[in-house]
């Protein structure tokens, strides 16, 4: 995919951190990440679709550096303004599917961004290309849902969650092994409960 000409999160960025749903999801995903992924002071991490840095904040204190990648300048502006992330997080406002970073990382994390990417096979291949040998992914998103999580007229939403078996096959096809799914958290929105998975996998 190419980078959209408009920033689809421009109107949401200002109050993103005070919204209950992102706050609840990022707390659950952050806890699941710390429980299931070994973080260490030498790790170079990429947060794909980092947004305002809600999940970065859980990981950054425990690793060497986090490359916060997003195509929304407005979301990244919120992240860059956070004093606790200064010096630890490098911001990249670019579509890494079209223009990769010029460096590799040891771990790629992502929360609630994959459903905004139309071509997930291409995205997973891009993740593999950005990982050093033995590198890992830890990716969180909605399990398959009835299409009610976003408003019906939402732009830039390409997947009503993900089927774990299908995503596992896609990860394997992109060159990943040791693929493990867990339920990271659940979130209540508009009288419905949604499951959020965390899948971890290693670049073969
Ligand atoms: C629902 S928000 C989640 C933000 C953050 N991860 C969190 O949990 O609060 C999705 C984010 O993915 C970003 N995004 C969408 N498509 C992307 C792409 N192709 N590359 C990088 N980021 C993308 C959006 O701009 C947005 O900031």
Q: Ligand 1 atom closest to Cα of 123? A: 19
Mean pLDDT value across the chain:
96
pLDDT at 91 over 80: yes
pLDDT in the model for residue 5: 63
Report how far ligand 1's centroid is from the alpha carbon of 50 (Å): 6
Atom 21 of ligand 1, residue of closest alpha carbon: 70
Inter-CA distances, 185 with 87, 91, 101, Å: 30, 27, 30
pLDDT at 4 over 60: no
pLDDT at 19 over 80: yes
Tens of pLDDT, residue by residue over 97-134, are: 999 999 999 999 999 999 999 999 999 999 999 999 99
Stretch 38-52: mean pLDDT: 98
Report yes or no: 108 and 127 within 8 Å, Cβ to Cβ. Answer: yes
In the block, residue with structure tokens 């947004």: 51
The residue to mutate among 116, 141, 198, having the most atoms of ligand 1 within 8 angstroms of its beta carbon, is: 116
pLDDT at 147 over 50: yes
Q: Ligand 1 atom closest to Cα of 22? A: 9
Rounded distance, CA 37 to CA 18, Å? 27
CA proximity to 99, closest of 71, 131, 135, 132: 71
Supply 168's token pair: 């596992």
Rounded distance, CA 61 to CA 89, Å? 10
Rounded distance, CA 122 to CA 168, Å? 15
- Domains (ranges, CATH) in the chain? 10-203 (3.40.50.150)
In the block, residue with structure tokens 């732009």: 155
Supply 99's token pair: 């223009």
Buried b or exposed e, range 157-191, using 16+ CB within 10 angstroms: bebebbebeebbebbeebbbeebebeebbebeeee
CA proximity to 29, closest of 45, 43, 47: 47
Rounded distance, CA 88 to CA 115, Å? 27
pLDDT at 173 over 70: yes
Rounded distance, CA 17 to CA 84, Å? 15
pLDDT at 18 over 50: yes
Stretch 37-49: mean pLDDT: 98
pLDDT level of residue 2 (50, 70, 90 thresholds): very low
* Pocket, ligand 1, Cβ cutoff 6 A: 9, 22, 26, 48-51, 54-55, 69-72, 75, 95, 111-113, 116-117
Stretch 57-70: mean pLDDT: 97
pLDDT in the model for residue 1: 38
């Amino acid at each position: 995919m190419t980078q959209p000409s408009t920033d689809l999160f421009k109107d949401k960025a200002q109050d993103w951190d005070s919204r209950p749903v992102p706050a609840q999801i990022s707390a659950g995903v952050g806890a699941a990440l710390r429980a299931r992924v070994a973080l260490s002071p030498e790790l170079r991490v990429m947060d794909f679709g980092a947004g305002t840095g809600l999940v970065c904040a859980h990981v950054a204190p425990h690793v060497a550096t986090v490359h916060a990648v997003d195509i929304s300048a407005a979301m990244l502006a919120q992240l860059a303004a956070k004093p606790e992330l200064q010096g630890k997080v490098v911001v990249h406002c670019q579509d890494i599917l079209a223009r990769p970073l010029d460096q590799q990382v040891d771990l790629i994390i992502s929360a609630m961004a994959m459903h905004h990417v139309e071509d997930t096979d291409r995205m997973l291949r891009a993740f593999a290309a950005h990982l050093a040998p033995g590198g890992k992914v830890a990716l969180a998103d909605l399990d398959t849902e009835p299409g009610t999580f976003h408003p019906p007229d939402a732009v830039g939403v390409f997947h009503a969650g993900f089927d774990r078996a299908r995503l596992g096959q896609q990860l394997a096809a992109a060159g990943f092994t040791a693929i493990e799914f867990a339920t990271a958290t659940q979130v209540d929105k508009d009288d419905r409960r949604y499951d959020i998975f965390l899948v971890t996998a290693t670049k073969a």
